[in-house]
Amino acid sequence: MAVPQRVQDLLTPALVLDLPQLRSNARLMADRFSQQGVQLRPHMKTHKTVEGGEIMTAGTRRCIVVSTLAEAFFYAENGFDDILYAYPLPFDKLDRCAELAQRLELFQVLVDSEAALAELKKHPLQGGRVWHTWLKLNCENGRAGIPHSDPAALQLAKAISQSESVELTGVYAHCGNSYHCSGGEEIKAVAQATTTATLQFMEKLKAAGIHGVKSSIGSTPSCSHPVPDMALLSEVHPGNYVFYDIQQTLIGSCKIEEVAVRVLTRVIGHYPATNQLLVDCGWTALSLDGMGRLPTGYAVIEGHPELKLLSMTQEHGKVEPVSGKLDYEKFPLGSLLSLIPYHACATAAMHPVYFVQSEGRIVDTWTPTRGW
């Protein structure tokens, strides 16, 4: 099927990316940490596309994070290397991990238990290669990982470093609790606490005679509002920032004009008896993320603060006014509405293709990888 040249001619629902804004988001994050001398290792899980990865790595196709093995193979097959599979080591996928570890210059896995380390030792790599591992720390962030203050964390680090077939490449912490923040100061407090805990753990490693280990923290909120001590880290690993979304605006990571993703939908029904519009966007095009979080329902309807997306079924959405009666003449059947999603990652996962626009013209289409 031919792709229309104009955004307004797209078949809906359609996920549309603003290419200039997306490039600006990527450039600002890269510049922010380049100035601090910290390596940016962008996470690919928001978009899962070659084109997005190339923009986020400034064309190097090196030093990325993925959350699924499907992503890891997809990027490897498209010329990317130095890939960190930032997911607690799945034992059923160990052979697949080994395939990438043998094939790439640098493929890295995450461990947070003695059992995971034991499993790696049972599956040594060939040709003198070693498993490159990152120790997943939970710095009171409410996410996966071994608690940073637990003596078992240091014991596990020692056990990894003493193994002949496994190398301790780095220490990885995710500021998941930054998603509960409101405003830059709260975000900075989380970033500081996570950075401090990570750096303190790095000192424990040095005291134990373990040197040359990298340190990395990340989340889009914490990396959008970094604290000075983050300059002491080796890397950061945000991901959502390339798109941003309404959730990030509520947290305080960005302004609404920095959000680079929209879902276009058309009005397909007028229902004066219930004071509603019907649109061709259900949860299979937007996701149910954000339920109860926004006064405008499941998304922000761009340019129409008087409207809210009240509810969704699989393929339909119901729109009604925040107050008063709908003026149906303003929204004729077939007219377009532009939805700014609450959670870009979940919304992007609903679409088999992204339409990339600049100044209202479709300039490209991106096809994401799918699966696990």
Q: Name the pTM for this structure.
A: 0.96
Q: Alpha-carbon distance 134 to 111, whole Å?
A: 6
Q: How far is CA 64 from CA 47, 236, 322, in A?
A: 13, 10, 42
**Mean pLDDT of successive 10-residue stretches along the chain, which has 372 residues:** 90 98 98 97 98 98 98 98 96 97 98 97 96 96 89 97 97 94 96 97 98 97 97 98 97 97 98 98 95 90 96 97 96 98 97 97 98 96
State whether residue 319 is helix, strand or coil: strand
Torsion sign over Cα 236, 240, 244, 250? negative
Query: What pLDDT, on the 0 to 100 scale, is given for residue 292?
Result: 80
Given the DSSP bridges, would you call strands 317-321 and 276-279 parallel, antiparallel or unpaired?
A: antiparallel
Q: What is the largest CA-CA distance in the chain?
A: 74
Contact between 146 and 157 under an 8 Å Cβ cutoff? The reply is: no
* Residues 132 and 106: beta-carbon distance below 8 Å: yes
Q: Give the C-alpha separation, 238 to 222, whole Å.
A: 8
The pLDDT, as a whole number, for residue 2 is 83
CB-based contact 252:183 (threshold 8 Å): yes
36-242 homologous superfamily: Alanine racemase (3.20.20.10)
pLDDT in tens, 128-185: 999 999 999 999 888 889 999 999 999 999 999 999 999 999 999 999 999 999 999 9
Separation between Cα atoms, residue 336 and residue 355, nearest integer Å:
16
Q: Is 188 left (phi over 0), alpha (psi -120 to 50) or beta?
A: alpha
Task: Name the strand (E) or helix (H) holding 215.
Answer: strand 214-218
CA distance 43 to 71: 11
Cα 266-267-271 angle, rounded to 5 deg: 165
Asked if the peptide bond before residue 13 counts as cis, ω within 30 degrees of 0, the response is yes
> Quick one: pLDDT at residue 4?
85
Cβ neighbours of residue 135 closer than 8 Å, sequence gap 6 or more: 110, 111, 112, 146, 153, 156, 157, 160, 168, 170, 171, 172
Q: In whole angstroms, what is the distance from residue 197 CA to residue 202 CA?
A: 9
Find, among 224, 238, 247, the residue nearest to 44 by Cα.
238
What 3-state DSSP class applies to 272? Answer: coil
Residue 141: the pLDDT is 85
pLDDT at 1 (0 to 100): 67
Cβ neighbour number for residue 142 with a 10 Å cutoff: 12
- The CA–CA distances, whole Å, from 265 to 262, 318, 337 equal 10, 11, 5
Domain 256-366 top-level CATH class: mainly beta
| DSSP single-letter state for residue 179 | G
Domain range annotation of the chain: 36-242, 256-366
CA distance 372 to 87: 11
Please tell me the distance from the alpha carbon of residue 329 to that of residue 202, in angstroms, as a whole number: 63
Q: What does the alpha-carbon distance between residue 197 and residue 148 come to, in Å, rounded to a whole number? A: 7
